[in-house]
Structure 1
Amino acid sequence: MRKHSSPIPPPENLPTAYQEVLSWNVSTRPRRVLLAHTLAVLSFCLFGVLFAFGAVSVGKQPLSGSFALGLREAVALMVGMLLTLMLHELIHGVAMQLYGAHPRYGILWRRMMLYATDPAYAHPRNRYIVIALAPFVCISTLVVLAMWAFAGTAWVPLLAICGVINASGAAGDMWMTLIVLRYPPSAYIVDERDGIRVFCQSTVGMDTP
């Protein structure tokens, strides 16, 4: 539960008889920041293997001697990574907008993290899960299709790296999805720049994971 003298008011679209049962932000506790980085590294390793397999099987990329990182490739990789991160947040925002929110975008400079959020709008739990996982699902699918379309070319390893970056960046989305799954489908979730607020009907007990 939020612990300060001037609590943030609940969103206007929140049904009556709901109360805030969880205010969860990554940056409020050092342990969470460390865990977030750990999950990102683990995701990078896991999906690195999976997308490498996809590059070989779907993209027809040879196992060795197929990709040299010269200046052109390095620039293409940096541009691709930046566009991937921007597309990740844009998909979050589009999903929010489809469900009635009015997302805004920005950067948390201290954490060098892009975000899309609308803290004035509450989403039913299952809709929030769709919003949280939409970039991972959409971009991963696009990467696999693009590897197939550009099979055997130098684009394949670049696409695979972008897929890994996106999946690694989605580690936090997956973490928050696991948190909200602890609450019933009737719960409402408010997205914040680096966390969430959970609202439940007053009969549901409060929790602080």
Structure 2
Amino acid sequence: MLGRMKKIDDIYTFEDGAFHEKMLRISFSALVAGVLAALAWLAYSLIFIRHSPAFEFEWMIPGLGEGGSPARCAAWLLALVAGCLLPLPVHELVHGVLFKLFAPAGSHVTFGANWRAGMIYACAEGVVYTRRQYLVIALAPAIAVTAALIVLGIALRWPLWTIVVATVHLCGCAGDIAYVDIIRRNPLITHCEDTSFGASFYGEGRDDEGACGERSGGDDLDDRE
């Protein structure tokens, strides 16, 4: 397939400085949105639903509401840590399932970590996906895992916990969202190859037909904002 296609760009996830800057901007935006949501919830709860067990601080902190105790406070904090950490492998598992689902029979999906970059990842090295498939693979964990955290938070009646863990997870989705943004901004990209270093993007035509299409990442990321 690649012999009939023209390479548009390579993204080196762990090394591309411009890509890392893009990720930081996305993470910061998610963090700001989460902080604003938490402040809005705190203001709403203090004004309209004081003494409501839906406000978890009154549930766990002695003196703020009925039943507060150090044990409940510890349980909430442990649940917060778990809610921030456990979605990480689940997130990559969703990637892995979709990598496998859309890949040809016999393709292998691997999991790994780059501790220096602070990332864990799923990889289907050498497999070429269509534009739509890769967008689904990239976005699915951000949507599915965040939605699951929100449902769990609602079931626990812990709105502040829900906001915090959902925000942390979305901050961790910055790389996926950056990929989606790069692909979305360049209509020439028709196929994406998963690689050990990140991803390669391809379009119709051949490399020997002339210059590659418009770059979608690397040094030109800032120009495409």
Same fold (TM over 0.5): yes
Amino acid at match of 2:25: T
Matched, 1:169 2:172: yes
Matched, 1:125 2:128: no
Q: For residues 142-153 of structure 1, what are the structure 2 equivalents within 5 Å?
A: 142-151=148-157
Give 3-state SS (helix, strand or coil) of 1:207's partner: coil
Are the counterparts in 1 of residues 84 and 168 from structure 2 also a CA contact under 8 Å? Answer: yes
Are the counterparts in 1 of residues 134 and 192 from structure 2 also a CA contact under 8 Å? Answer: yes
CA distance in 2, matches of 1:121, 1:62: 47
Name the structure 2 match of 1:62: 55
TM-score in terms of structure 2 length? 0.71
Worse overlay, 109-118 or 93-102: 93-102
Structure 1 142/102 Cα, relative in aligned 2: closer, same or farther at 3 Å? same
Are the counterparts in 2 of residues 51 and 164 from structure 1 also a CA contact under 8 Å? Answer: no
Name the structure 2 match of 1:140: 146
Structure 1 146/75 Cα, relative in aligned 2: closer, same or farther at 3 Å? closer
Q: For residues 13-162 of structure 1, what are the structure 2 equivalents within 5 Å?
A: 14=1, 16-50=3-37, 61-62=54-55, 65-66=58-59, 70-100=73-103, 101-151=107-157, 155-162=158-165
Matched, 1:206 2:221: no
Paired residues in the alignment total 192
As a proportion of its length, which structure holds more helix? 2
Worse overlay, 133-142 or 196-205: 196-205
Shift of 1:115: 0.5
Unaligned stretches of 5+ residues in structure 1: 1-13
Structure 1 128/185 Cα, relative in aligned 2: closer, same or farther at 3 Å? farther
Amino acid at match of 1:162: V
Worse overlay, 142-151 or 199-208: 199-208
Are the counterparts in 2 of residues 103 and 116 from structure 1 also a CA contact under 8 Å? Answer: yes
Give 3-state SS (helix, strand or coil) of 1:38's partner: helix
Name the structure 1 match of 2:200: 197
Unaligned stretches of 5+ residues in structure 2: 46-52, 62-71, 221-225
Shift of 1:107: 0.6
Name the structure 2 match of 1:9: none
Are the counterparts in 2 of residues 17 and 201 from structure 1 also a CA contact under 8 Å? Answer: yes
Shift of 1:42: 2.0
Shift of 1:195: 2.9
